Amino acid sequence: MRRSVLAAGAVLAVLGAGCMPSQRLAEGELQRLVVLSAPAGGEAPLHTPVVGERTLPGRWVIRQRPSVIWSAISLVRAADRLEEGAAEIEIAVSPAHAQALGGVLAEARAALTDLADVAEAESGTDRRRWAAAVASALGRLEGVARLASVEDLAGDGEPEEEPTGLAAGPLLELVAAYLNERSGGGLLGDLAPAETDRLRAILVQTVLQVGFAAAGRNLPADVRDAAARAMRDAPRPDAVAAALAPLLEEALERASPGSGGGSLGRTVRTVLTWAPKALRGLEAFVNQWDAVRSLDVAFHQAGGKVRVAVTLHVLPGREVVLKDMMWFQPVIAFRGSTRIVVEAEDPATGEAVVAFEPVEGGGGVEMRFEGLLYGLARLLAMPLADARLRELRVQAEGGEAGARVLNVALVMEALGARGDPRRMLVFQDVRRRALRREALDVTSTVTRKDLVFNYLTPEKRYTYRRSR
């Protein structure tokens, strides 16, 4: 509540100071900007993607089915077909299994948040605090491993508890394999081949590699097995952190200095920044699975690039709502049937495009500007209108040194608008960076941040700028 009041006060101060000027658009300017660029319709040949050493089906059809028993049978069959290398796969998932998956994703997100805090800390951070943070992340992930895999059996040969989150296991393994691939194999590189498909081994290796790298140390060879044993032997996941913290503190004290001076790979840092937000969105989606009829995901090869087409069918009279994933985010609501086409980054322009196409009458994705802040902005600064989202464009420029520019443009159609419904939201985030060189390290630091926000109607452009 306090945060909302303070933010509202800041908005009033900004608007009162006249920091949201507007100017008339030139004739035809908006029409030129909103021309949809992503491909629509027409199916290209299916593509079978490869993540790590695993070949995935080119098409996934996931249907909502109320029966828990049928869903469990379907998940087992799907796992078998995945191992066989099937080109297409169909799965039935019950709302109960989806809720279990949501719980697993919530724990994984919390663990990643703990790990991100470790990665952002200075390499000289207190050894005890570092050990507690890494142990906390491993404790959360032990709960994930027990819910999402059947590899751990009790003495009588039965699972210690029912693995209700089985669907999360393959998903987390694929994420780790993708991260390992993008980081040049350094994340899971010293895992034995037989371990790369075992969820606990992957999770432990990932956390320890990132944690020790953040502390500027190399991971000792014996720590992973010792940590895995302590996790396996703990009677409950919430007892893992207390058992691991002394072990990790001692391991850090004897670990050799890392050659990178504590810096993490760019891919790992990016994942730790964005993965919790992505998992929050996925968690919100699966928790509303009872409103979904089916989800169809297909990978296509077109013009030398891979295109992903996702078709979401929401039950009549229902909607799937994503909100509060990040501060100041508009509400995003899916209705009816919507086809989402993701076009990978174009090497020539550096632009990635996501198109939103209504498949049936009433289908589409709505953006709603709800809440106090948007209400104040609409009243005092600009005519924000709830709209149907048609296209998202993302373009990044620059590198570790100099200016790094991120451009995000949303093409929309205002709901219930009189006259021309076309609207555009454009964000530009500019971060000026400088390299800091030390004896055994080179780091990139942000020296200035500039944010430019534009809202375009058929007649005017409204602009807000902030620098710090």
User: Each residue of 340-356: pLDDT tens digit?
Assistant: 998 877 777 778 899 99
Would residue 75 count as lying in a domain? yes
Confidence of residue 201 (pLDDT cuts 50, 70, 90): confident
Domain match, 3 and 59 both: no
Q: Would you state the pLDDT for residue 380?
A: 76
| Average pLDDT of the residues in 135-147 | 82
Would residue 285 count as lying in a domain? no
Q: Would you state the pLDDT for residue 194?
A: 54
Would residue 45 count as lying in a domain? no
What percent of the chain shows pLDDT beyond 70?
A: 74
Specify the range with the lowest mean pLDDT, choosing from 53-67, 251-265, 282-296: 251-265
Domain match, 155 and 256 both: yes
Domain match, 73 and 189 both: yes
Nearest to 403 by CA among 442, 450, 441, 443: 450
Q: Would you state the pLDDT for residue 311?
A: 94
Return the C-alpha torsion angle 314, 318, 319, 321, nearest 10. -130
pLDDT at 111 over 90: no
Q: Would you state the pLDDT for residue 12?
A: 44
> Residue 138 has which token pair?
């491993």
Domain match, 115 and 58 both: yes
pLDDT at 323 over 50: yes
The last residue of a domain, from among 223, 251, 268: 268
Q: How many CA atoms lie within 13 A of 184 on its CB side?
A: 4
Under 8 Å between Cβ of 287 and 104: no
Would residue 319 count as lying in a domain? no
The last residue of a domain, from among 214, 240, 268: 268
- Print the domain residue range for 2: 1-33+390-468
Domain match, 135 and 249 both: yes
Domain match, 85 and 206 both: yes
pLDDT at 112 over 50: yes
What percent of the chain shows pLDDT beyond 90?
A: 18
Domain match, 132 and 179 both: yes
Length of the chain: 468
Would residue 233 count as lying in a domain? yes
Domain match, 24 and 69 both: no
Q: Would you state the pLDDT for residue 262?
A: 43
Would residue 418 count as lying in a domain? yes
pTM, full prediction: 0.77
Q: Would you state the pLDDT for residue 17?
A: 43
Would residue 216 count as lying in a domain? yes
pLDDT at 168 over 80: no
- Counted domains in the chain: 2
Q: Would you state the pLDDT for residue 365?
A: 94
What pLDDT, in 10s, does the model give residues 364-394?
999 998 888 788 877 777 888 999 999 999 8
Domain match, 13 and 85 both: no
The last residue of a domain, from among 224, 248, 268: 268
Neighbours of 17 (CB within 10 A): 8
Is 81 exposed, middle or buried, given 0-12, 13-18 or 19+ CB atoms closer than 10 A?
A: middle
Q: Would you state the pLDDT for residue 153?
A: 38
> Residue 270 has which token pair?
């990016």
More confident residue, 198 or 63: 63
Q: Please, what is the average pLDDT of the chain?
A: 78
Domain match, 56 and 137 both: yes
Q: Would you state the pLDDT for residue 213?
A: 78
Domain match, 121 and 208 both: yes
More confident residue, 175 or 287: 287
199 vs 335: CA distance, rounded Å: 35
Domain match, 11 and 145 both: no
